[in-house]
């Protein structure tokens, strides 16, 4: 579980700037949430949420990368990658049920946690927050539908679609490039739904075209030619 962090304090208005979920929330909601939230750190490799645990909070990522996973046989299958600004844990809170997945930190992650009852009260009292949550959940559903539509496409298209999506959602713009966390090949294979041996082969081809590079020192994937990558991802 996350441990308390001595992080910079967040101002109420920062919630609307850092987290898309709170972009349209009222000042009263931002103030109430700000007063009750806890900021914590979670080191790389640690489980943030445990499957089958009860939902007592909703979490938002200030910085870092995490993965959503579920148990499969003797191991885990990665379902999604989350980055800065993203939220998770809301399904168990809304459904008042045990969590159906784990969330584990890929890198060091800085988190904000919102107590479940406060989150539910904010949704009830703030129509704009309620509407925004529905919008973002619909976006997730559309993304899942697109992944399903790509299921029979070439592995290269599916992997590039995954990388472009992560760059658009969570990437850091560095000049003409966009950087994302150097996600392990096993996780990339799982979320792109391609065989694991195909991942390094595709990455090698993209590197030779100078469309991306992997910086192992900074532990990032640097997408260099977004125009070409976007074009390839849309061939599906």
- 59: Cβ contacts below 8 Å, ≥ 6 apart: 48, 49, 87, 88, 89, 103, 111, 112, 113, 114
150-233 CATH choice from 1.10.287.130, 1.10.10.10, 3.40.50.720, 1.10.3720.10: 1.10.10.10
User: Which pLDDT value is given to residue 7?
Assistant: 45
User: Which pLDDT value is given to residue 236?
Assistant: 52
The class (CATH top level) of 3-128 is: mainly beta
User: Which pLDDT value is given to residue 235?
Assistant: 64
Q: Put residue 102 in one of left, alpha, beta given phi > 0 → left and psi -120 to 50 → alpha.
A: beta
Q: How far apart are CA 34 and CA 37, in angstroms?
A: 6
Q: Which two tokens stand for residue 226?
A: 């977004």
User: Which pLDDT value is given to residue 9?
Assistant: 62
Residues facing 104 on adjacent strands? 47, 67
For the chain, 236 residues long, give each residue's pLDDT as a single digit of tens.
454 443 446 777 788 889 999 999 999 999 999 888 889 999 999 998 887 677 789 999 999 999 999 888 778 899 999 999 999 999 889 988 878 889 999 999 999 999 999 999 999 999 999 999 999 999 999 988 888 888 889 999 999 999 999 999 999 999 999 999 999 999 999 999 999 999 999 999 999 999 999 999 999 999 999 999 999 988 65
Closest of 54, 30, 60, 57 to residue 125, by C-alpha: 30
pTM of the model: 0.90
User: Which pLDDT value is given to residue 6?
Assistant: 38
User: Which pLDDT value is given to residue 233?
Assistant: 87
Q: For residue range 165-198, what is the model confidence (pLDDT) as tens digits? A: 999 999 999 999 999 999 999 999 999 999 999 9
Q: Which two tokens stand for residue 50?
A: 């445990």
Listed by start position, the domains of the chain span: 3-128, 150-233
User: Which pLDDT value is given to residue 16?
Assistant: 84
User: Which pLDDT value is given to residue 146?
Assistant: 87
112 CB-contact burial (10 Å; exposed 0-12 / middle 13-18 / buried 19+): buried
User: Which pLDDT value is given to residue 10?
Assistant: 75
């Amino acid at each position: 579980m996350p441990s308390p962090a001595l992080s910079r304090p967040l101002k109420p208005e920062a919630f609307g700037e850092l987290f898309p979920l709170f972009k349209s929330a009222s000042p009263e909601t931002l103030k109430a949430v700000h007063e009750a939230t806890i900021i914590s750190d979670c080191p790389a490799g640690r489980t943030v949420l445990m499957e089958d645990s009860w939902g007592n909070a909703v979490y938002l990522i200030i910085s870092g990368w995490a993965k959503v996973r579920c148990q499969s046989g003797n191991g885990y299958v990665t379902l999604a990658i989350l980055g800065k600004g993203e939220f998770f844990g809301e399904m168990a809170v809304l459904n008042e049920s045990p969590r159906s997945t784990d969330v584990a930190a890929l890198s060091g992650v800085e988190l904000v946690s919102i107590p479940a009852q406060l989150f539910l009260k904010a949704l009830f009292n703030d129509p704009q927050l309620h509407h925004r949550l529905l919008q973002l959940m619909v976006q997730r559903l559309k993304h899942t539908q697109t992944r399903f539509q790509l299921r029979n496409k070439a592995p290269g298209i599916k992997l590039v679609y995954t990388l472009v999506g992560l760059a658009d959602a969570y990437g850091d713009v560095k000049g003409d490039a966009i950087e994302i966390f150097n996600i392990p090949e096993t996780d990339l294979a799982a979320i792109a739904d391609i065989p694991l041996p195909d991942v390094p082969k595709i990455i090698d081809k993209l590197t030779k075209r100078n469309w991306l590079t992997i910086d192992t020192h900074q532990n990032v994937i640097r997408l260099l030619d977004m125009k070409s990558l976007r074009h390839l991802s849309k061939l599906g």
